[in-house]
């Protein structure tokens, strides 16, 4: 309801507009009778003030100050009983009203404030009921949505807020509108809220049996809060149904993959196809998660894999997921490895999956599939760091390095080689990190500076300092090889 609509109600029809007539479209969010000297702290956006100005009748400056504050908070307008205590208003106040389009209206002395508030509150109540019914109807229309992520996204767009669905331990299951959120640093799957974060006044939590819906609504939207509480039974039923649908879809996909994998292994007609196996190790694959978590996990996992591997079968065994991919014989293996590296990056960024991946060689002979699974698994076990990828062809080298690391003479050589950098009294983490990345990037200055996020002059200074300490020329390829070997033996690379 705006000011123009209000002037059609009851005794408000007797009101006359003194100034600010271009502001009659201002929306009334609240109406209050105020007769105290300092009302500034009570003024809020959209408020319609009704007063006699009794408390400031002899103080034009106080009248003007209150009106300026009403403009500042973007109020709805001012209704005065002129003639009882105040007979005229400051010229500056009238000028401001016209300039800022803030309506000033007067009502006859015999009009009751109670009557004015009654008609305003009755109209606002009916208006709120109508708005609630309209918004409820919009929410119920979401019953036609058949996908969890689409449902959450449309609900977020409808409320103009953040929507997060969490399990009973507050781990993230789904979200929409990745805006700054007072309770969260990250929106990765199964992530938890910030510890000791204070609940924002704009945050609303609707608790269900196995999960909750957390909404961060704009500007403490009371109307949406009321509507969402009334729709809570619908929301619980709909979200539960979509979770169950997601679980059913994932289970069917896993069963389909298993069936198609068997068909692939017995079908020898596709002689132009090659295949390889990727082993992905991570504790998140553990079966200790509930069926709900497993379903959501695989739903997200499949969506990222499909972006990078055009043709694959997925098999889970305990804490390892195996991806058997296929490609035409003419396609380069290095391109597939690049795709797997991009996939790993997306899984880390969006699902916080810090994986140890192993990749088997590629084969055409279907009878070697068990060997490929075993080789991929072996390669993943030799992946030294999370987020790493090991090709099976690299396993022999890693085995040799592991064996050498246990030889005392080799160990002593590595200690002597790295002593100037790793000795406790001279250890410099920045120099050690610089050397590792410099060697890993094959002595490329530009790439090393980029990886370290430093200027090339800073890199040059660090490399000179390393050379001084170690009394070695880093431009010598043999020196770089010996340093790389020593760092490998000591487990720095």
Q: pLDDT digit string (tens) for 84-123?
A: 888 899 999 999 999 999 999 999 988 888 888 888 888 8
Regarding the domain with residue range 3-121, which homologous superfamily does it belong to in the CATH classification?
Answer: HprK N-terminal domain-like (3.40.1390.20)
Closest CA to 471 of 433, 418, 392, 429: 418
Q: pLDDT digit string (tens) for 55-95?
A: 888 889 988 988 999 999 999 999 999 888 888 999 999 99
Q: 286 pLDDT exceeds 80? A: no
Q: pLDDT digit string (tens) for 225-237?
A: 888 888 888 998 9
Q: At what angle do helices 445-452 and 429-440 cross, to 10 degrees?
A: 130
Span 248-397 CATH architecture: 2-Layer Sandwich (3.30)
Give the integer Cα–Cα distance in Å for 323 and 362.
Answer: 13
Q: pLDDT digit string (tens) for 317-347?
A: 877 899 999 998 888 888 998 999 899 888 8
Residue ranges of the chain that CATH labels 3.40.1390.20? 3-121
Predicted local distance difference test score (pLDDT) of residue 409? 73
Predicted local distance difference test score (pLDDT) of residue 356? 85
Q: 288 pLDDT exceeds 60? A: no
Predicted local distance difference test score (pLDDT) of residue 287? 44
Give the integer Cα–Cα distance in Å for 404 and 480.
Answer: 19
Indicate the burial class of 198 (C-beta count within 10 angstroms; 0-12, 13-18, 19 or more): exposed
Q: 241 pLDDT exceeds 80? A: yes
Q: At what angle do helices 408-422 and 395-405 cross, to 10 degrees?
A: 90
* C-beta of residue 20 within 8 angstroms of C-beta of residue 26: no
State the chain's maximal CA–CA distance in angstroms: 106
Give the DSSP H or E segment for 33: strand 30-33
Residue ranges of the chain that CATH labels 3.30.70.270? 248-397
Give the DSSP H or E segment for 274: strand 273-281
Q: pLDDT digit string (tens) for 168-185?
A: 888 889 988 756 677 777
Q: In whole numbers, what is the pLDDT of the chain averaged over residues?
A: 85
Residue ranges of the chain that CATH labels 1.10.10.2840? 407-489
Span 407-489 CATH architecture: Orthogonal Bundle (1.10)
CA distances from 157 to 32, 108, 151 (A): 33, 46, 10
Predicted local distance difference test score (pLDDT) of residue 424? 57
Indicate the pLDDT class of residue 303, thresholds 50, 70 and 90. Answer: very high
87, two tokens: 């007979």
> Which residue intervals of 309-455 are DSSP H helices?
333-351, 369-381, 395-405, 408-422, 429-440, 445-452
């Amino acid at each position: 309801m705006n000011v123009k609509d209000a002037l059609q109600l009851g005794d408000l029809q007797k009101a006359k507009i003194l100034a600010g007539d271009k502001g009659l479209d201002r929306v009334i969010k609240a109406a209050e009778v105020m007769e105290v000297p300092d009302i500034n702290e009570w003024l809020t956006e959209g408020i319609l003030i009704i007063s006699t100005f009794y408390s400031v009748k002899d103080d034009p400056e106080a009248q003007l100050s209150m009106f300026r504050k009403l403009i500042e908070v973007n109020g709805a307008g001012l209704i005065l009983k002129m003639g009882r205590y105040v007979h005229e208003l400051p010229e500056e106040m009238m000028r401001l009203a016209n300039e800022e389009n803030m309506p000033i209206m007067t009502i006859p002395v015999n009009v009751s404030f109670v009557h004015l508030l009654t008609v305003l509150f009755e109209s606002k109540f009916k208006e709120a009921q109508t708005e609630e019914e309209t918004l409820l109807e919009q929410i119920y229309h979401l019953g036609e949505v058949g996908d969890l992520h689409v449902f959450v996204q449309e609900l977020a767009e409808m409320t103009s807020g953040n929507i997060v669905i969490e399990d009973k331990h507050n781990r993230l299951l789904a979200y929409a509108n990745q805006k700054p959120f007072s309770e969260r640093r990250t929106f990765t799957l199964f992530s938890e809220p910030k510890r000791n974060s204070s609940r924002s006044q704009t945050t609303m939590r609707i608790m269900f049996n196995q999960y909750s819906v957390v909404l961060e609504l704009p500007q403490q939207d009371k109307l949406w809060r009321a509507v969402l509480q009334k729709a809570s039974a619908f929301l619980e039923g709909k979200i539960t149904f979509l979770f169950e649908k997601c679980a059913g879809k994932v289970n069917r996909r896993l069963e389909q993959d298993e069936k198609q994998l068997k068909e692939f292994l017995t079908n020898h007609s596709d002689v132009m196809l090659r295949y390889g196996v990727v082993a992905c190790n991570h504790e998140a694959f553990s079966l200790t998660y509930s069926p709900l978590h497993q379903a959501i996990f695989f739903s997200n996992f499949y969506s990222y894999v499909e972006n990078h591997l055009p043709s694959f079968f997925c098999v889970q065994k305990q804490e390892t997921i195996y991806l058997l991919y296929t490609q035409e014989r003419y396609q380069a293996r290095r391109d597939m490895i690049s795709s797997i590296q991009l996939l790993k990056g997306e899984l880390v960024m969006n699902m916080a999956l810090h994986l140890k991946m192993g990749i088997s060689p590629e084969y055409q002979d279907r009878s070697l599939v068990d060997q490929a699974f075993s080789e991929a698994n072996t390669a993943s076990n030799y992946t030294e760091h999370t987020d790493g990828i090991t090709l099976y062809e690299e396993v022999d080298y890693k085995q040799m390095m592991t064996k050498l690391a246990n030889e005392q003479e080799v160990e002593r050589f590595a200690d002597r080689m790295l002593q100037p950098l790793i000795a406790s009294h001279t250890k410099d983490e920045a120099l050690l990190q610089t050397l590792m990345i410099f060697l890993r990037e094959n002595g490329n200055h530009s790439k090393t500076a980029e990886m370290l996020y430093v200027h090339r002059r800073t890199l040059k200074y660090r490399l000179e300092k390393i050379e001084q300490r170690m009394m070695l020329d880093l431009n010598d390829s043999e020196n770089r090889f010996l340093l790389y070997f020593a760092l490998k033996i000591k487990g720095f690379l």
